Structure 1
Amino acid sequence: MRLAPATLALIAAAGPALAQEVNLYSYRQPELLAPLTDAFTEATGIEVNVAYLSSGMVERLQAEGDRSPADLVFTVDISRLSAIVNAGVTQPVESEVLEENVPEQYRDPGNEWFGLTTRARIVYASKDRVDPLEVTTYEDLADPKWKGRICTRSGTHPYNVALVAAHLYHHNEEETKEWLEGLKANLARKPQGNDRAQVKAIWAGECDLALGNTYYMGKMLEDPEQKEWADSANVLFPVFEGGGTHENISGVAMTKSAPNRENALKMMEFLSSPEAQEVYAHANYEYPIAPGTEADELVQSWGSFEADDVNLMDLADLRPDALRLIEEVDFDG
């Protein structure tokens, strides 16, 4: 990756490193991080050691305590970011560079995590059986006309819990529960599988609409075995009544122990740079958030949308209530 002179200057101006390494715990895949870690090392001489985890990040950091080698954590979904902060294993970071690169709605109010890219939680719709103008809001999904025509993964998956939390932000509990009951009544089958499985179900004629994240469309289009599924569906960007399209996020936070704090700050600022955000967003078909950045051409081809302007920590605070409502209606039952 080729860095702009301004980005290199910011990294150099951060001062000499205490140790020529930085340690990262990540829930993201190696193939997504490697271009960024390689570019950071090339620009700074600082080696990046990554521990790729599938689960248990909070528990590991708590068990390690002050002895933890981790400087940074890199993860997706506001529920995971807020869980890390609430566990007391991160520290606030003051940085003019981060504040300039990361809009306020995409960072923790206490500066304990910073967003890097976003993904929209959208509707996949059959090209053959659904007029795109029929679904313009999330509330539309509870309309009885869709009875037996919607597919989704588990209601208790973090992606869907965040969406329900967003509904709860714009509506009261009673309205959100009614919406969940209406959505459940419209399901074509019991919630199952991942987001790609829902698009496959549209292709197979099992349902006409499905909830999913935008980036899965890009992933399926690059997979010869799944391209046919993706080609059968349109990407629709519904909004909440009185709001925008729901987004979730990937983000980074500095650990409380951070043995290489100076290097960790350099890497956070690097990851937030427009150049790094665009590389990462293009690799995973997500949306960069730094001012002046653009999504991949394929992602742009799906259309534009007005993002919901709620701070994601407000949604994280609503997550327990959202999960309770999902369980009260027995959404997965």
Structure 2
Amino acid sequence: MTLRTHLLAASAIAVAAPAVADVNIYTTRQPELIEPVMEAFTEETGIAVNLAFIDEGIVERLRAEGDRSPADLVMTVDIANLKQIVDADVIQPVDSDVLKSNVPATLRDSEDRWFALTARARIVYASKDRVADGEITTYEDLASDKWEGRICTRSGTHNYNLALLSAVIAHHGEEAAKEWAAGVRDNLARKPQGNDRAQVRAIWAGECDISLGNTYYMGKMLEDAEQTEWANSVRIVFPEFEDGGTHLNVSGIALTKAAPNKDEAIQLMEYLVSDHAQAIYAKDNYEYPVLDGAALSDVVASWGTFTPDEMDLPEIADHRPAALRIMEEVNFDG
């Protein structure tokens, strides 16, 4: 079969399933981020991949479609979203030795219902001019009053920050996490706003000295001529929890309950954690491979090494409701 990677509107997939055994994916990831690795799979196997980008409402769509859904796989980012599809009971477990061998236990569901494909660290972007080397060491330190008026971040209720606060709860309990959230709030230079790149722009503009962000945004900013100057004004710092490592979140994949092309879908899942696919992800998206030993891109490698936190991601996800409540109680977003 010739290479046939399709980018379809969600409604187009729902109208008619392909006549051949393609693999249909509902994804919250922008298609351009995952098309290169899907094209490589098609080239290697002859199995075409149909991508349906659904920014919001994947769970509701899968529930509405039920057994008639054409979707074989669902791809999303953030442990909270992965937990949501588990809780909605729209996916099924996959018993695969390849997936279990290539994806660490801390980065997959204990009942094999989802598997991480890539990881990203939630780190600190620090001004090269105004923050000294070694001045930031822990997440806990971000609540110290030495950072008063010096921190920028996106909304406290965004999934990325809720996942980080959930990890604080997992490490220290709810009361300590509430104190930490209030401390970070008190250190904000401005009302939470924008995305992670906007915080780096604020550092470049002198509005704050440090910000919370995901690692891969550095690579994306360096690609953009308008944003390169922002990126070059900061360095990446990998804080750790006092009793752990650097917080990770993931992109992940799961097999839907309907999965009309189950065998081909599992074949794709296994391919996505292979050496070849993980190297493509790392190079094109500036993310960290989940496969031990897979090559990093030169840009990612230049950021340095860190010790990943070993806290179990599903456990972190369990604390998300408490994290949201805390952010609202401390009025983090003002």
Hey, what does 1:254 align to over in structure 2? 255
> In the alignment, which residue of structure 1 is the partner of 2:65?
64
Q: Letter of the aligned partner of 1:35 in structure 2?
A: P
What residue is the counterpart of 1:200 in the other structure? 201
User: How many angstroms apart in 1 are the aligned matches of 2:160 and 2:21?
Assistant: 37
Shift of 1:41: 1.3
Please name the residue that 1:327 is paired with. Answer: 328
Deviation at 1:172, TM superposition (A): 1.6
The answer to which of 290-299 and 95-104 deviates more is: 290-299
| Shift in Å, 1:217 | 0.6
1:19 is displaced (CA, Å) by 4.5
- Look up the match of 1:99: 100
Question: How many pairs does the alignment contain?
Answer: 316
Helix, strand or coil: the match of 1:169?
helix
Asked if structure 2 preserves the Cα contact closer than 8 Å seen for 1:220 and 1:230, the reply is: yes
Q: State how far apart, in whole Å, the 1-side matches of 2:331 and 2:292 are.
A: 42
What does residue 52 of structure 2 align with? Answer: 51
Deviation at 1:330, TM superposition (A): 0.5
User: Are 1:299 and 2:300 an aligned pair?
Assistant: yes
1:316 alignment partner in structure 2: 317
**How far apart are residue 322 of structure 1 and its match?**
0.9
Name the counterpart of 1:143. 144
Q: Note if contact 1:137-1:240 (Cα within 8 Å) is conserved in structure 2.
A: yes
2:101 match: secondary structure: helix
- Taking the aligned partners of 1:294 and 1:141, their CA distance within structure 2 comes to 32
Q: Which amino acid aligns with 1:310?
A: M
Give the superposition deviation at 1:206: 0.2
CA distances 1:77-131 after superposition (whole Å, capped 9, x unpaired) = 1111110111000000000011111111110001000011100000000000001
CA drift of 1:294 comes to 2.5
Q: Aligned Cα RMSD in Å?
A: 1.0
In the alignment, the residues of structure 2 paired with residue 28 and residue 274 of structure 1 have an alpha-carbon distance, to the nearest angstrom, of 21
Measure, in 2, the Cα distance between the counterparts of 1:172 and 1:311. 15
What's the counterpart of residue 186 of structure 1?
187
8 Å CA contact retained: 1:20, 1:45: no
The CA distance in 2 between the partners of 1:315 and 1:153, in whole Å, is: 20
Divergent runs of 4+, >6 A:
none
Gaps in structure 1 of 5+ consecutive residues: 1-17
Q: TM-score, normalised by structure 1?
A: 0.93
1:157 aligns with 2:158: yes
Structure 1 position 266 matched with structure 2 position 290 = no
How much does 1:285 deviate? 0.4
More moved, 87-96 vs 294-303: 294-303
Report the TM-score when normalising by structure 2. Answer: 0.93
CA contact (8 A) 1:126 1:232 kept: yes
> How far apart are the structure 2 equivalents of 1:142 and 1:33?
37
Q: Could you tell me which residue of structure 1 aligns to residue 39 of structure 2?
A: 38
Residue 297 of structure 1, CA deviation = 1.1
Q: Is the 8 A contact 1:22 1:47 kept in 2?
A: yes
Q: Which amino acid aligns with 2:48?
A: E
Deviation (angstroms), 1:272: 1.1
**CA deviation after TM superposition for structure 1 residue 231, in Å:** 0.4
Partner of 2:215: 214
CA deviations over 1:116-162 (Å, ceiling 9, x no partner): 11000000000000013111000110110110000000000000000
SS at match of 1:133: coil
Deviation at 1:311, TM superposition (A): 1.6
- Per the TM alignment, residue 20 of structure 1 is displaced from its structure 2 partner at its CA by 2.5
In the alignment, the residues of structure 2 paired with residue 45 and residue 299 of structure 1 have an alpha-carbon distance, to the nearest angstrom, of 31
Q: Distance in 2 between matches of 1:172 and 1:268?
A: 35
Structure-2 separation of matches of 1:294 and 1:47: 26
